[in-house]
Amino acid sequence: MEQLFYYLKVSWFSIKRAPLPYMLTVLILSLGLGVFFSNATFYYRMNSDPLPDKSDKLFFPMMMLVPYQCSDCKAPPVLSYSNVAKLAASDIPSARAAMYSADGYLRQHAAQPPTPVTVRITQRDFFSMFDVPLLHGTIWPDNQARDELLLSKATAEKILGRTDVVGQQLLLDDRLFTIIGVLDDWQMLPKLYDAYNRQYLNPAEDIYLPLESGYDYNYLSNNNSSTYDDADYRKLATDGRTKAIHQLQYWVQLDTPAQQQAYRQFMANLVTDEKAAGRHPSPEANQLVMLRDIVRYFGGESADIKAFAIVTLLFLLVSVFNASHLSLNRYLSNQYEFSLRRALGANRSQLQMQLLVDMGLMSTFTLAGAAVIAYGCTKLMNSLWPANRLFASWDVQLMLALAVLTLFCSYLVTLYPSLRASFGSLNKQLKE
Amino acid sequence: MPLHLLFKSLQRRKVVTTLLLVQLAMTFALLLNSILLAQQTRQQLQQPTGLPLQQTLQVQLKPTTVALRQYPALGDLLTRQLEAIRTVPGVVAVAYSNQGPLLYGGNNGNVHDPDREELSKANGVPLYTVSADFFNVLQLPPLAGELPQNEIAVDGLAKSPVVITQSLANKVFDDKPAVGRQVNRGPVAAVVADFYGQRSAGTVNYNAIQVAPLYGVDWGYSILLRTEHGSTDKVRQALPQVLQQVDSNIEIFYIRTLAEQQQRLYSNEFGLASLLSLLSALMLLVSMISSYSNAYFHTLKHQQEIGIKRALGASKSRIFTELLSENWLTTVLGATAGVGCALVLNQVLAQVISIPSLSWWLPLLTYTVLLLCVTVATWYPATIATRISPATATKAL
């Protein structure tokens, strides 16, 4: 320990002797690491798997069940009510849920000003498929229409001031609904069950309503809806259930490869049946996309973050080269001191130890600087790309990654100078 | 100083020179691609929209009660809102619309000539249902035909006449006169000049407009108004109160000028261009520090050598030029390697974002910027070198 303090003291004296080059080295390395880390945070979070145990078991089936003919079209990203009914006819999936999102206005009573809310209109399996935690109450016992809703914890606290509100009634778009459940803190990020149109960047919804009630009360999708034929999208309760109004996402849980294969076969058989009935004029274009692949399938990956990731990596490299350059100049200036110590009996391993302590000290300063710069850069990125703001948070794992990266970069920066200082020719160095 | 001697001098510091060259090459590559991206964003923001951007305000709003979202209550609400806005000083014209222009996506569908559907079909055309003053607000006089004056429901027995933009008319009717002919949505009443509709559409200038009651407002609707020069801010401030006084059961999502709307349409590109510009500036700074440090350290290490040169008759200006020349040579070498790096980076970026390819004059501009920065960074160490006295040479003896 005493030796360590000695090395630290020598390092400190060395810094004090020429503080500007040292500060510049630390600053440049901090800049490179900070900028790289802030973008890496977004990149890592956006590409993380929110359901690692299930992301290879949940699938989004899509088919060309549309009333037009197209030979090279991809299957539509949303399904009609009747499409879902056909896909739900199979008992192969362990769980299944159709869903979409809509907007609404919530209030306790007519005299209160309304609060805008987002509504997920779905079926009961949604909660088990996506591991949605329940704090109070229950989920609907079946998929029938009912004037019952579930609230997110934040919405319950915002509207009613507390979470234990099961049994109370609320006005959603002037219709009375009973609260049957309140969710616990839950934020699926990225929100992969709603990946189309980059909706996966948005927070989870405030309210959950049964699908049948959503159709009865004519809630239109706020994300994507397409109407074909003479269907009137203002008549969801009638036209919505029978005609080609596409607005539903549909997820199935297929736990084993055998189930997945069987469901693919079921979809292929369905195409054959529909073609025979004259309802599938286009060639087969079935898709069964895994949850973890859904963003890529819809082409919704954040290109800006990806492009900036390439550039920040380049910047980090430049910073490391620059810091190495400065570090080398600094060591060359101090070479006489190293040589003198070697001449006085210090062996190479002792000099290496000294350089390791130098590196540790530099890593500490750099880590602090990088954290500050990364914080500022994250704020800047949030203001320039507000849609990504939910992905800006750090956790212990990310901080540890930054620490390891800082240590590695500091090591790289000091590696060559330390080798040169320790292994150069002593006579030559003393002459210089 | 002859070129071969400059190279020899650089060779004496192989590692330091290599590090500097790599940095300069990467800085050059990033700087060049940042300029490209910034230039592209600027072009996107400056492309003609055919709209009075500064004087037009768009209010996006939605009734908060179910009753107000349906006719006849909705019709009454719209009439009262438009009347109230007309009384605001500075308002020239006002209209409602199911959606505004300059959007990424929205309400759209295909438009085609029913007699030759496959050949004439234009997909993803923004479909507007508007009040008659829409054309006056957006300053879109008819190029052919007459603008409809009465609202006719789009789902009524009689087809609501359609107004289409010039480029859509050319596409659907193959450059032949469109007025009086039928498209799948109704008879063409007029053709107006092109304006920017939706970015997600194949061609941003395709638009189809029908003067009709709003079909549905579950996604909200827009009130568009044109203001007198210099009145936009005052009108904008007055609008929330005016609209709330008409009926408080509304949610106003935003009030923006079309210029702000256009800016938002390219906000992602603007964000990336801003971040890359910032990063380029940082990289230039880092390169300047590197050049400074390189020159300064070189001066310190070679004081005796410089002293000898001075003693042998080298003038101060020669020493100064010598030091600058070394750094210029490094910069030129680094930047030349940077052209290759820039091409690679451009290709890599083109796989993820839309970025134009390099033009011949951009590397020249980037060379100039880099040389200027390096010169500024090296100036002070070079000045120090000129102050080294010829007497320093005696220390070598």
Give residues 320 to 339 of B whose Cβ lies within 8 Å of A: none
In a domain, B324, yes or no: yes
Closest CA to B248 of B37, B44, B118, B61: B61
Q: How does residue B397 score in pLDDT terms, banded at 50, 70 and 90?
A: very low
Three-state DSSP class for residue A138: coil
Cβ of B16 within 8 Å of Cβ of A328? The answer is: yes
Q: What is the pLDDT of residues B220-274, one digit of tens each?
A: 999 999 999 999 999 999 999 999 999 999 999 999 999 999 999 999 888 988 8
Residue B214 has pLDDT above 90, yes or no: yes
* Cβ-defined contact of B279 to A384 (cutoff 8 Å): no
Asked if A247 contacts A227 with a C-beta cutoff of 8 angstroms, the reply is no
Residue whose pair of structure tokens reads 């998929």 in the numeric block: A143
Residue A19 belongs to what H/E stretch?
Answer: helix A19-46
Which one of A329, A330, A336, A383 would you mutate to disrupt binding with B, by most B Cβ within 10 Å of its Cβ? A329
Q: Over the stretch B303-361, which tens digit does the pLDDT of each residue have?
A: 878 888 888 888 888 888 888 888 888 899 999 999 999 999 999 999 988 888 888 88
Given A116, A303, A324, which is nearest B19 (Cβ)? A324
Banded model confidence at residue B82, pLDDT cuts 50, 70, 90: very high
Using DSSP bridges, classify how beta strands B186-192 and A207-210 pair: parallel, antiparallel or unpaired.
unpaired
Q: How many domains does chain B have?
A: 2
Q: Which positions in chain A touch B21 (Cβ < 8 Å)?
A: none
Q: Which of A164, A159, A176, A83 is nearest to A115 (CA)?
A: A159
Q: Using alpha carbons only, what angle is made at residue A243 by residues A238 and A246, rounded to the nearest 5 degrees?
A: 105
CB atoms within 10 A of CB A83: 24
Compute how many other C-beta atoms are within 10 angstroms of the C-beta atom of residue B176: 10
Strand runs labelled E in B167-298: 182-183, 186-192, 208-211, 221-227, 250-257
Q: What is the mean pLDDT of residues B179-187?
A: 94
| Interface test with chain A among B20, B218, B219, B267, by most A beta carbons within 10 Å | B218
For residue range B127-148, what is the model confidence (pLDDT) as tens digits?
A: 999 999 999 999 999 999 999 9
Q: Report yes or no: B209 and B138 within 8 Å, Cβ to Cβ.
A: no
Say if residue A191 is exposed, middle or buried (CB neighbours under 10 Å; 0-12, 13-18, 19+). Answer: buried
Partner residue opposite A105 with nearest CB, options B64, B216, B268: B64
With CB atoms and an 8 Å threshold, state whether B287 touches A328. no
Among A31, A307, A315, select the one facing B272 at the smallest CB separation.
A307
- From B301's Cα to the closest Cα of chain A, the distance in A is 8
- B162-165 and B208-211 as β-strands: parallel, antiparallel, unpaired? antiparallel
Contact B30 A311 (CB under 8 A): yes
Tokens of B84: 């109230």
> Where are the strands (E) in chain B, listed by range?
56-63, 91-97, 108-111, 122-130, 142-145, 162-165, 182-183, 186-192, 208-211, 221-227, 250-257
Contact criterion met (CB below 8 Å) for A119 and A194? no
Distance CA A231, CA B42 (A): 42
Strand A207-210 to strand A134-137: parallel, antiparallel, or no bridges (unpaired)?
unpaired
Whether B295 has its CB under 8 Å from any CB of chain A: the answer is no
Task: Enumerate the β-bridge partners of residue A175.
Answer: A172
Half-sphere exposure of B267 toward its Cβ, with a 13 Å CA cutoff? 18
Q: Is residue B13 included in any domain, yes or no?
A: yes
**Contact map slice: B 153-172 vs A, CB within 8 A:** 155
Which residue from B minimizes the CA distance to A377? B275
- Specify whether B93 is located in the same domain as B209: yes
Tell me the C-alpha to C-alpha distance, in Å, between residue B142 and each of A345, B55, B148.
95, 20, 10
Residue B127 and residue B218 share a domain: yes
* Same-domain check for residues B146 and B28: no
CB contact under 8 A, A325 and B270: no
Place of tokens 């850069």: A377
Greatest extent of chain B over all pairs of C-alpha atoms, in Å = 108
Cα angle, residue A422 at apex, residues A418 and A427 outer, rounded to 5°: 135
Identify whether B289 is part of a domain. Answer: yes
Range of the structural domain that residue B8 is part of: 3-46+267-396
Tell me the C-alpha distance between B134 and B209, whole Å. Answer: 9
A329:B16 CB<8 A: yes
Please tell me if residue B286 touches chain A, with a CB cutoff of 8 Å: yes
Query: Of B248, B275, B296, which closes a domain?
Result: B248
A232 exposed, middle or buried (CB, 10 Å; 0-12, 13-18, 19+)? middle
Residue after which a domain boundary falls, among B192, B219, B248: B248
CA A96 to CA A263: how far, in whole Å?
A: 12
**Cα separations (Å) of B112 from B173, B174, B197, B209?**
9, 11, 18, 14
A224, β-bridge pairs: none
pLDDT tens digits, A359-381 = 899 999 999 999 999 999 999 99
B40 CB within 8 Å of a chain A CB: no
- Chain B residues touching A233 at Cβ < 8 A: 216
Q: Which two tokens stand for residue A414?
A: 């000091």
Alpha-carbon distance of A73 to B248, in angstroms, equals 46
SS3 B225: strand
CA A140/CA A131 separation, integer angstroms: 16
**Does B289 contact A310 at a Cβ distance shorter than 8 Å?**
no
Of A28, A174, A304, the CB nearest to B286: A28
| A155, A207 contact by CB (below 8 A) | yes
Q: CA of B98, closest CA in chain A: separation in Å?
A: 15
pLDDT at B64 over 90: yes
Taking an 8 Å cut-off on Cβ atoms, the answer to whether A384 and B275 are in contact is yes
Decide if B344 touches A, using CB distance below 8 A. Answer: no
Query: Chain B closest CA to A253's CA: distance in Å?
Result: 32
Q: Is residue B256 part of a domain?
A: no
Q: Mark which residues 230-249 of B lie under 8 Å from A by CB.
A: 249
pLDDT tens-digit series, residues B10-44:
777 787 788 888 888 988 998 898 888 888 888 88
Q: How far is B141 from chain A (nearest CA, A)?
A: 32
H runs (alpha helix) in A385-395? none
What element of type H or E holds B372? helix B361-386
Q: Round to whole Å and give the CA distance between A180 and A137.
A: 6
On whether any CB of chain A is under 8 Å from the CB of B36, the answer is no
Domain assignment present for B203? yes
Residues 6+ apart with CB under 8 A from B46: none
Q: Are residues B281 and B244 in the same domain?
A: no
pLDDT of residue B62: 97
Which residue in the block uniquely carries the two structure tokens 């699938």? A59
Q: Which residues of A153-163 are buried (b: 16+ CB within 10 A; e: fewer)?
A: bbbbeebbeeb
Tokens matching residue B17: 């020179």
Distance from CA of B112 to the nearest CA of A (A): 15
B253 is a domain residue = no
- Strand, coil or helix: what is B286? helix
The 3-state DSSP class for residue B219 equals: coil
Put simply, whether B345 touches A (Cβ < 8 Å) is yes
Cβ distance of B66 and A174 shorter than 8 Å: yes
Residues of chain A with confidence (pLDDT) below 70: 421-432
Q: Note whether B97 and B204 are same-domain residues.
A: yes
- Please list, in sequence order, all residues whose beta carbon lies within 8 angstroms of the beta carbon of residue B107, skipping any fewer than 6 positions away: B98, B99, B126, B127, B128, B219
Task: Say whether the peptide bond before residue B126 is cis (omega within 30 degrees of 0).
Answer: no
What percentage of residues in chain B have a pLDDT greater than 70? 98
3-class DSSP state for residue A92? Answer: coil
Which tokens go with B336? Answer: 């030349």
Domain boundary, last residue among B220, B248, B276:
B248
Single-letter code of the amino acid located at B262: Q
- B116, pLDDT greater than 80: yes
Chain B residues touching residue A232 (CB < 8 angstroms): 155
Neighbouring C-beta atoms of residue A6, cutoff 10 Å: 12
Rounded to the nearest angstrom, the minimum Cα separation between A102 and chain B is: 9
Report the pLDDT value the prediction gives residue B6, as an integer from 0 to 100. 74
Residue B255 lies in a domain: no
CA–CA distance, B152 with B120 (Å, rounded to integer): 25
Kindly state whether residues B23 and B171 are assigned to the same domain. Answer: no
CB contact under 8 A, B66 and A381: no
CB contact set of B119 (below 8 Å; sequence gap of 6+): B113, B174
Please indicate, yes or no, whether residues B273 and B201 belong to a single structural domain of this protein: no
* Kind of pairing between the strands at B221-227 and B56-63: antiparallel
Tell me B291's DSSP state.
H
> Which position has the token pair 């480029």?
B167
Q: How many CB pairs under 8 A join A and B?
A: 127
Residue B272 touches partner A, C-beta closer than 8 Å: yes
Find out whether A143 and A123 touch, Cβ atoms under 8 Å: yes
Nearest neighbour of A317 by CB, restricted to B26, B65, B297 = B26
| ipTM associated with this complex | 0.84
CA distance B106 to chain A (A): 9
Instruction: State how far residue A306 is from chain B, nearest Cα, in angstroms.
Output: 7
Give the pairing type, strands A115-122 and A207-210. Answer: parallel
The DSSP bridge pattern shows strands A226-227 and A207-210 to be unpaired
